[in-house]
Structure 1
Amino acid sequence: MPSWSDPLVKLARENLPPDVAEAWETVYRPAVRLTTGGAGARAGQLGGSPELPAGAEWPRWRGELPMNFVASVDCAALPRVPGGIELPAGGSLLFFYCDDWFEAEGPVDLTSLGAVLGVPAGAETAERTAPEGVEAYPRLDLSANVTGTFPGSEHEVLRRTLARDGRPLTDPDNWSEEFFDLLRESAVAPYHQIGGCSWPVQGPPEDEVALAVLPDGSEDSAYADEALRWVLLAQIDSDGDAGMTWGDVGILYWLIRDDDLAAGRFDRVRCVMQSG
């Protein structure tokens, strides 16, 4: 049976020396790709109205501005694969983002603009329309399949993965623009996914989170260590069919520390928006 990693492994083995290809293969990660209009079973939705638990308040940024509902996934319907992100066995995850944050006064933490609401399996829920003044995006059903992903060229994991002569994958002998272009060409937009490696527009979103959560003036090594503790929970790309455009045709990333993910502490998620 074909593996999610087969296309990426093939690219590495055809374009890199064997020892370098072997190192690259260790940094690939599986993700659940979310597509609209697919033939697979429904696994969630983009836009529309979310199913909120009875009595739950609509998420608000800083208690001031109601957020926009972006997407939800049915955890039980998502395919599972060894090495993938460990989500709850059941229930759903609802993803929100504040489009109108620029209306707020005072300094803004640009990693605080999103939220994730975890709805336990069996919870009583009801469809909730968006508050007045909040844009509701068109609803599109999502289907899911497993795909292979790779870290961005600036990701810390490449600096810490050694290949030829004990040198990291960021070394020019272990990495090239040509090979990375082949990796990028292997993926298909829009890049909606759960777990896996993020698809950065401006550099690793994990780095932005590390800068936000650590004290100013921390050592560079501390920022690098912190960035590695955050994993991609979900990313939702700009999508014309869904009426979603993040900045200048960018991407939203919801990230969570691995220990918070294991404990189901989705209230500790950070959200980053990047655009060109």
Structure 2
Amino acid sequence: MDRYEQFRSAAIDRGLPEDEAVKFADHLRFVVWLGTAGPDEQVVGQEGGLPRLPVGTDWPADRDGTPLPFIASIDCALLPRAEGLPLPEDGSLLFFLNHDDDVEAEAHTEEPVHARVLHVPAGTETVVASPPPDHDTRTFFHENLPFLQPEHRLTAWVEPALPKWITEEDYDFDSLVEERLFEELKHVEELRELVDVLWPDVDRSSGFRLGGYCALIGGSATPWTQMTYAGFADLSDAGEYQLIREWVPLAQFYTASEFYYGCFLICFDDLAARRFENMRSFTMFTE
């Protein structure tokens, strides 16, 4: 029984209307969280350090040839499965981001200049990449942070996620679409409580996650607003809601800076088809 069926069955057992439980579950997503691995925990990847790149592959760089800082790599075959999140079942995902330059970039319709996601298929011959030339004297960021960050081994677990308009009391709806959907959920408190009962909060820190909903950090325009102005959808409440439904955070993470937060979004269809070149990056300034 997958988690969605588990939720539906538990809702019916509690006497909650099945049609409402199904509507509620339509907004329920499952997130793969990643945190520092303990001695006895499954290691699924690394944050920082040096990436393993396919033999003969150069370190990813922007269009000017400037190397992009390495964020993390994930072994997809070792990840716990999260229903509704069509991550690759094998191979590795590698994430690169220059947050200083990316935060100034607009929501381009082409592949991001200052961010990159690489999928290395299973069976590919790889090697630990050599650091870019002069990396030890190069400081990429206004804060003079080093190019290479310390390596941390990562473990993973799955948690549920719901949009803010469902989870937050007295929420000021961002759109009429959200308000209408909320009004259809007559038993929203009981359904929220059921999610908490089935999947209690995991009390551990994490700075990296795959899937779920986009965290909104700082006071800049949301990725959805930026995308509508870039032509990804109509300039309307319905257009933004369509993007939220069709796109998912491939990765969200704290950067080496305390002021910047990385968010890589991808369309569900592109994620399932492994078209990672269609990822879009929205670095957020936290203050």
Residues 176, 237 of structure 2: 8 Å contact kept: no
The CA deviation at 1:28 is 2.1
1:108 to 105, 110, 126: 105
Change (3 A) 1:88 1:49: same
CA distance in 2, matches of 1:200, 1:168: 25
Residues 33, 159 of structure 2: 8 Å contact kept: yes
The CA deviation at 1:257 is 1.1
Residues 206, 230 of structure 1: 8 Å contact kept: no
Residue equivalent to 2:181: 162
Deviations 1:217-253 (A, max 9, x none): 8455334423432111111125xxxxx2252xx4211
Residues 95-134 of structure 1: pairs in structure 2 closer than 5 A: 95-101=95-101, 108-109=105-106, 112=112, 113-131=114-132, 132=135, 133=138
Residue equivalent to 2:85: 85
Structure 1 window deviating more from structure 2 (130-139 vs 197-206): it is 197-206
Residue equivalent to 2:168: none
Residue equivalent to 2:44: 43
Change (3 A) 1:196 1:125: same
Where in structure 1 are there 5+ consecutive unaligned residues? 13-17, 239-243
SS at match of 1:33: strand
The TM-score with structure 1 as length reference comes to 0.72
The TM-score with structure 2 as length reference comes to 0.69
Residue equivalent to 2:169: none
Residues 187-202 of structure 1: pairs in structure 2 closer than 5 A: 189-202=205-218
Partner letter of residue 48 of structure 1?
G
Residues 151, 158 of structure 1: 8 Å contact kept: no
CA distance in 1, matches of 2:60, 2:247: 23
Change (3 A) 1:2 1:207: closer
CA distance in 1, matches of 2:179, 2:93: 32
The CA deviation at 1:120 is 0.8
CA distance in 2, matches of 1:123, 1:257: 26
Residues 68, 130 of structure 1: 8 Å contact kept: no
Where in structure 2 are there 5+ consecutive unaligned residues? 141-146, 166-172
Residue equivalent to 1:207: 224
SS at match of 1:72: strand
CA distance in 1, matches of 2:226, 2:266: 9
SS at match of 1:142: strand
SS at match of 1:117: strand
Change (3 A) 1:92 1:4: same
CA distance in 1, matches of 2:33, 2:91: 19
Residues 163, 213 of structure 2: 8 Å contact kept: yes
The CA deviation at 1:57 is 2.3
Residues 229, 235 of structure 2: 8 Å contact kept: no
2:242 to 201, 222, 225: 225
Deviations 1:95-132 (A, max 9, x none): 01013428x9xx73267332101111111111113323
Residue equivalent to 2:155: 143
Partner letter of residue 42 of structure 1?
V
Please, what is the CA RMSD of the aligned residues? 4.1
Residues 29, 84 of structure 2: 8 Å contact kept: yes
Change (3 A) 1:79 1:142: same
1:268 and 2:284 correspond: no
CA distance in 1, matches of 2:63, 2:124: 26
Deviations 1:177-198 (A, max 9, x none): xx9xx9xx95764342112223
Change (3 A) 1:226 1:137: same
Residues 158, 168 of structure 1: 8 Å contact kept: no
Residues 235, 251 of structure 1: 8 Å contact kept: yes
CA distance in 2, matches of 1:215, 1:44: 32
Change (3 A) 1:47 1:215: closer
Residues 37, 143 of structure 1: 8 Å contact kept: yes
CA distance in 2, matches of 1:216, 1:162: 20
Give the share of equivalent positions with the same residue, in percent.
30
